[in-house]
Structure 1
Amino acid sequence: MALILSVAALAAVLGFALRRPRGWPEIVVALPAAGLLLAVGATTWQSARTEVTDLLPVVGFLAAVLVLARLCDDDGLFRAAGSAMARSTRGDQKRLLASVFAIAAAVTAILSLDATVVLLTPVVLATARTLGVPARPHTYATAHLANSASLLLPVSNLTNLLAFSAAGLSFLHFTAVMALPWLAVVAIEFLILRKFFAKDLAVAPRPRAEATPAPWPRFTLVVLALTLAGFALTSLAGLSPAWAALAGALVLGIRGLATGRTTVTRITVAVDGPFLVFVLCLGVVVDAVMRNGLESTMQQILPDGTGLPALLWIAAVAAMLSNVVNNLPAVLVLLPLVAAMGPPAVLAMLIGVNVGPNLTYVGSLANLLWRNVVRTSDVPTGAAAFSLVGLCTVPLTLVAGVAALWAGLQLFNI
């Protein structure tokens, strides 16, 4: 009975989060679901308290990064990126796609996938309209890179933050090992999307007007560079990278308020408190499902060992689970199991939950945010159209990413 209630609660929470009727926040269902499972004894208060305590540092870091990304937008960083993409075209859409890939990969890695979906995608859409070219190749690039380009840094994705604490690696060590998978996945994504959208990319740009170049906000870029360095330094000092993110957000926030570029209301909205509470409640719900049978089932499915075939299987299981229950619950389910196998298994799982979601809308919440952003454009956003592109990219990027991970593990003797 407890298992049935736990699975039903998880299904209800995810179903509501994926659809969000009337724009209501995810906690409308997540909070009562967690409370119900506690009330009926599907999980214990002690277990729920432990789960929330473990997630709090990750959630706090996410809040700081969300604010940092919004403040960068307020200071014109993404407008400058759009201007740079438009100037790079030079009459060839393939150059535009390359620029979109470079900027989207960097934004995802440094400011997280939410910044790519919510802040960069509208800029890419506007740039395509200005140049008079089909937006489909370039917006699908932001959708895919929001997931797959988040492999590089521990701060690039909420799933990375969760895995980072379990992998037992320093910030620099994590980044060094994941650099090869990140490069391999991004390169293959570029080659496949360039081929898949060849017809759209053949359209010559027809700029509607000569736009005034938007300058790069130098102060913001310096703060971002220092924040990125701070991520590594705090990790070496045994501190949470959240402190570096908080420092960067404070510097840009104080400056933004002083110059009138932002407001306290905008900063408060950027924190997205309801979503942060949703993550904590989701952790409690998943804990109940694990305690009532899923943990033993997953233990039978996951392989022993950390050789290349085993890592490929772990990544494949993670990718498939992401497309059934979403990648965040997939991490919460798999992480306790793969953490016992060591860093190689944790990182292979991470490739699965970051690359796999490009297959379906269910794969990640970022996919649904992207669909909402581009829905009013002429970009096809149907589930079939989205999955068709994913079918072309996910299998190859998954295999290439794990193979590159295995090579990196040999290189760094892990």
Structure 2
Amino acid sequence: MHGLPAEALSVLLLLATLVWAVVRPPRWPEAVVAVPAAAVVIATGAVSLGHAREEAVRLGPVIAFLAAVLVLSKLCADEGLFHACGMWMARRASRAPAEARPGRLLAAVFAAASLTTAVLSLDTTVVLLTPVVFATAARLGVRAKPHVYACTHLSNSASLLLPVSNLTNLLALAATGLTFTRFAGLMLLPWLVAVAVEYVVFRRFFAADLQGREEDREAPGSLETPRVPLFPLVTVVCTLAGFVVTSVLGTEPAWAAAAGALVLGARALHRGHTSPRGLAVAAGVPFLAFVVALAVVVRAVVDNGLADWLGRLVPDGSGLLELAAVAGLAAVLANLINNLPAVLVLLPLTAPGGAGPVLAVLLGVNIGPNLTYAGSLATLLWRQTLHQHAHRVGLREFTRLGLLTVPPALALSVLALWGSLHVLG
């Protein structure tokens, strides 16, 4: 099967995969639809077996890294690292007068979520930090909505800083040939700008929630001093340093992530805090299968016509207007077909233009998904977390907030990237 029939089938299967990822029941993995969809496009010839194998091989290091980081994050949570973070946020907010505590907590959540996303990836912020933020807001007696919304927005927009912050960044790093430190240097200013814009908009959008308070549930003096678990914290710091070392040596960051997960995993097994099965569950194997299968389906869509159509829309050059056009196109595509398929589609088209257009794609696929539920896998995970806490999310409110944050954050981040490229070369 080739041409228009193959493209129609591939698009249909891609939409089915994404719709299932949005509406699936909590106990059913995303791979339930994605893996059969990948098998169908291979069996019908919509994508050749060789191209499917190419995608799997290309994603191999990325999948290994993602598995290691998921295990590392889960073990850090088991060791109490995120609980200590929650206690730090609560104590910091409790020092303010009662009417100022919601705003002080929001600032603490922004700091914690931005750093967690940058160092331990966006999935960690959504899955592990969001429940801590719920508990912290309840402890202080403040409304949780602004703070948990901050978790999902920052899981996307604060994932610009490091190659390890987001799966999309790892794919882009391989396409640009940049080192770990070079990537971070170019993305530092856009990262700061995106987080700052989010914070300013949040303070105004949630002004009523940040002024009102629910009943006091715990007096500030009763908040215990957080005990920071040093071993997992030192392990995370050493793992981050390992990312820099692997970049200098030209090896995959997955080795550093695997080393960190191995150290904490061996310690947890020795203490009886986990089991081999627990580590395997933490690695999220069904989710990893979903990522690979999704890449194969996207490759079928690309091979049968989408690449030619998008190729006419992607501008040449690394000027400010060209970078803005690439970022805008990436943001639109991320909200139409999800950010992971969008980056898989756009990287081959922008990589010949150098690092600038590729990093502009990242701005679009990392900031843009804050506009819709389906824009990012992280947002889908965040919605599940909220449902577990019986917290409703209004589509209209979510979209309004996205319309207020995404355009200015994206525009100013593009300007910051253009400046970084000119200053750093």
So what's the TM-score if we normalise by structure 1?
0.97
Equivalent residue letter for 2:186: V
Of residues 55, 74, 79, the one that matches 1:75 is: 79
Equivalent residue letter for 1:227: T
1:164 aligns to 2:168 (yes or no): no
Q: Distance in 2 between matches of 1:206 and 1:322?
A: 41
Q: Distance in 2 between matches of 1:203 and 1:265?
A: 45
1:119 aligns to 2:123 (yes or no): no
1:178 aligns to 2:158 (yes or no): no
What SS is found at the alignment partner of 2:165? coil
Of residues 61, 64, 72, the one that matches 1:60 is: 64
The percentage of aligned residue pairs carrying the same residue is: 54
1:299 aligns to 2:311 (yes or no): yes
Q: Distance in 2 between matches of 1:270 and 1:51?
A: 24
Q: Distance in 1 between matches of 2:140 and 2:26?
A: 34
Per-residue deviation, residues 283-318 of structure 1 (Å, max 9, x unmatched): 111111111110011011111211001101100010
Q: Distance in 1 between matches of 2:365 and 2:114?
A: 17
Per-residue deviation, residues 86-131 of structure 1 (Å, max 9, x unmatched): 0001232211111100000000001101110000000001111111
1:215 aligns to 2:215 (yes or no): no
Contact 1:74 1:262 in 2 (8 A): no
Alignment correspondent of 1:28: 32
Q: Where do 1:5-404 residues align within 5 Å?
A: 5-21=9-25, 23-89=27-93, 90=95, 91=97, 92=100, 93-204=102-213, 207-209=216-218, 210-377=222-389, 379-404=391-416
Q: Distance in 1 between matches of 2:104 and 2:269?
A: 37
The CA deviation at 1:378 is 6.5
Equivalent residue letter for 1:186: V
Q: Distance in 1 between matches of 2:388 and 2:27?
A: 16
Aligned pair count reads 413
So what's the TM-score if we normalise by structure 2?
0.95
Equivalent residue letter for 1:118: V
The CA deviation at 1:380 is 4.0
Q: Distance in 2 between matches of 1:383 and 1:160?
A: 28
Q: Distance in 2 between matches of 1:267 and 1:207?
A: 39
Contact 1:12 1:29 in 2 (8 A): yes
Q: Distance in 2 between matches of 1:8 and 1:125?
A: 38
Q: Distance in 1 between matches of 2:66 and 2:240?
A: 15
Of residues 5, 8, 11, the one that matches 1:4 is: 8
The CA deviation at 1:377 is 4.4
The CA deviation at 1:28 is 1.5
Contact 1:135 1:379 in 2 (8 A): no
Equivalent residue letter for 1:95: R
Q: Give unmatched runs, 5+ long, in structure 1.
A: none
Equivalent residue letter for 2:8: I
Q: Distance in 1 between matches of 2:54 and 2:112?
A: 38
The CA deviation at 1:204 is 4.7
Q: Distance in 2 between matches of 1:23 and 1:263?
A: 21
Equivalent residue letter for 1:67: V
Taking a change above 3 Å as real, the CA distance of residues 377 and 278 of structure 1, as seen in their structure-2 partners, is: closer
Equivalent residue letter for 1:58: V
Q: Distance in 2 between matches of 1:40 and 1:97?
A: 51
The CA deviation at 1:154 is 0.2
